[in-house]
Structure 1
């Protein structure tokens, strides 16, 4: 059953259990150091409007969520298509995987806006990790497309969607 209200959309059965609001995340592979900060900021932004907390773990520690830069066919059934096209994808709870296309050009914090904003795309994909689907509101972070140089933040539609999904 899909619950739709306003313009957001959620699967009511694809969400984290109430007992699991402290999610851990880990960067896998050769995740660029410069990409870790905008991803961590995106987790903080979602934490500011939810009851979730997000903590980075490292090494051999288990984590709820994993973030990784990959290219082409990377074994999850959703191959990337090189520069442009699909930029990133994430799996709904409780899978927890988030992949960015290594072949795309990325930027963050308004630096070199010729690529795609890593913070905005991280916000979008973390929305999927939390259980949100795409929105029809163009200003929403959960809108399905992004343009080069575009930077977005959470919209009221995103906040209403996450609050409806988790009864906040």
Structure 2
């Protein structure tokens, strides 16, 4: 029984044990594009076919395009002088990871600025307290939670 190119793409996704969404992302296409093709509602574009064959060089072009031969090419011997290329999907994943780290850094820097502002405010409050020396600063062991309110307060050393 002869299969259509749409059916072969569906078979390929199944053979690779991937979801339509994961497969679409791997070739840098929208999942709706792949669903549309696999459902037989339209033919794959040149870009889709090119993406499949670039990202998955083990797929036989004859099988994909015409249904001739085996789905996968015979394995070629591995050579050690080939460079490893993650392809467009790898680049996209690395880009998203980098963007995530950049966003986390931005958030941490904002939080650090806010905390520094709080510290400066509290230092000004301490300096304004009557009867307290400006050079007396509690160390961390002297800072406690107030038993009634739960707010932080300092246990000041006795000044003679």
Q: State whether TM-score is above 0.5.
A: no
Higher relative contact order (CA 8 A, sep 6+): 1
The structure that is strand-richer by fraction is 1
TM-score (norm 1): 0.23
TM-score (norm 2): 0.23
Bigger Cα Rg? 2
